Amino acid sequence: MKKTDGGITAPAGFYAASAAAGIKYQGRTDMAMVFSEKPCNVAGTFTQNIFKAAPVIWDRDIVKGKGVGQAVIINSGIANACTGEEGLRICRETADAASRILGIPADTVLLGSTGVIGMQLPLDRLVAGAKVLVANLKPDREAGNQAAKAIMTTDTHEKEVALETEIGGKKVTFGGMAKGSGMIHPNMCTMLAYVSTDAAISGTLLQKALGEIVQDTFNMISVDGDTSTNDTLLVMANGMAGNEEITEENEDYRIFYEALNEICLHLAKEMAADGEGATKLMESVVIGADTKENARILAKSVVCSSLSKAAMFGCDANWGRELCALGYSGVVFDPMKVEMWFESGDGTKKIRIFTNGAGTDYSEDEASELLSGKHVRIISDMHMGKESATAYGCDLTYDYVKINADYRS
């Protein structure tokens, strides 16, 4: 398994395109399409928010129905959430228009939207944009990169990943793209993320793998604690690698699972690191928990704490805030047993800051220097058992407030 340069178009048979449809932004692309030569088995996980955006409802019906998709159309600028019946009609008409141009069934056209909640999408611009997208579809690196750029909102850079592995003697490739970077607090995941692969795998196993992987990847990141109305993670597998289709949990499945996990973890961490206004990636590792679920809750509580996030921005070793976040997580533990360390992202520096119910006599200067890095790890050993989990977040900065006090302007 090796990471390669590339994105959503890396696997065989995948095309992408972008277009500037003028949906809300001016002077930038705001629509993207991903298209596979052959129909794909498609799996997905979606927001748990009661207010599900119209494209989430549309995609969920496809994933839970035939589970087959061949194209995805995504727009940025307007989320098509809280838009009532009219929002659903716009989804239907967009898919219908794309299906006619592409010559594929409308119920294999998946949709994704991100941006302002509550505004209606301009259907005429969407349809005109879809025509441009189809005309520009290309299977190359550049087309994938342009698609990854077109789906951004407040992201500072596009998020792409690709990797190769071998399954049953055949080279299999995975590609992915995603966008953050606010309203990020996954339950399912929170954001838009798309993964392509030319592996052959049954729809059932694809959904099973994704459902498990999302728990320790996208569901373990948080930027601001707000679970979006639009969160969507889709995986499309078109089988063009020529491997024997994976239909049981054998060695081929294990390799596929590991590769998909790697892709999802990469995109999830990138999303956390590029959270709105973020200057650093905050990684919370919990070890020695009694159950896996408790490990996850504890790890996430730390990256969700506004006070811990603000202290990280200030490179202030105010570790009481991380302990405090463990303490109000709802998990029961013995506070006298907890040990805590700060560690630099590359693992070269590690400082024990708390043990036996009180702080150690660590050097504030060393701690502050460690915390000034772009990637900081907080390790909490609960000394209760053997379960562990890792959560990813980012610091809370002036820019987060700036971006969100005036998002719609």
List of residues contacting a copy of itself (CB under 8 A): 48-52, 79, 81-87, 116-120, 182-183, 185, 187, 224-229, 304-307, 310-311, 313-314, 316, 318-321, 323-328, 331-333, 335-336, 354, 356-359, 396-398, 400-409
Provide, rounded to whole angstroms, the least separation between the CB of residue 246 and a copy of itself.
34
Q: With respect to a copy of itself, which residue has the nearer C-beta, 50 or 348? A: 50
Q: Please state, in angstroms and rounded to a whole number, the distance separating the CA atoms of residues 150 and 226.
A: 23
Supply angle C-alpha 17, 141, 217, rounded to 5: 90
Nearest alpha-carbon partner for 42 in 16, 69, 66: 69
Q: Which residues of 181-219 are buried (b: 16+ CB within 10 A; e: fewer)?
A: bbbbbbebbbbbbbbbbbbbbbbebbbbbbeebbbbbbb
Provide, rounded to whole angstroms, the least separation between the CB of residue 301 and a copy of itself.
10
Phi/psi at 13 (nearest 5 deg)? 85, 0
Q: With respect to a copy of itself, which residue has the nearer C-beta, 255 or 353? A: 353
Q: Please state, in angstroms and rounded to a whole number, the distance separating the CA atoms of residues 212 and 387.
A: 16
Residue 291 near residue 384, CB atoms below 8 Å: no
Residue 116 near residue 77, CB atoms below 8 Å: yes
Provide, rounded to whole angstroms, the least separation between the CB of residue 47 and a copy of itself.
8
Only one residue has tokens 């650093």, namely 280
Q: With respect to a copy of itself, which residue has the nearer C-beta, 120 or 261? A: 120
Q: With respect to a copy of itself, which residue has the nearer C-beta, 162 or 183? A: 183
Q: With respect to a copy of itself, which residue has the nearer C-beta, 111 or 304? A: 304
Provide, rounded to whole angstroms, the least separation between the CB of residue 307 and a copy of itself.
5
Q: Please state, in angstroms and rounded to a whole number, the distance separating the CA atoms of residues 158 and 406.
A: 22
Answer positive or negative: Cα dihedral of 171, 112, 44, 375.
Answer: positive
Q: With respect to a copy of itself, which residue has the nearer C-beta, 1 or 401? A: 401
Provide, rounded to whole angstroms, the least separation between the CB of residue 234 and a copy of itself.
21
Provide, rounded to whole angstroms, the least separation between the CB of residue 338 and a copy of itself.
8
Q: How many CA atoms lie within 13 A of 399 on its CB side?
A: 16
Q: Please state, in angstroms and rounded to a whole number, the distance separating the CA atoms of residues 310 and 204.
A: 43
Q: Which residues are designated catalytic? A: 190
Residue 115 near residue 84, CB atoms below 8 Å: no
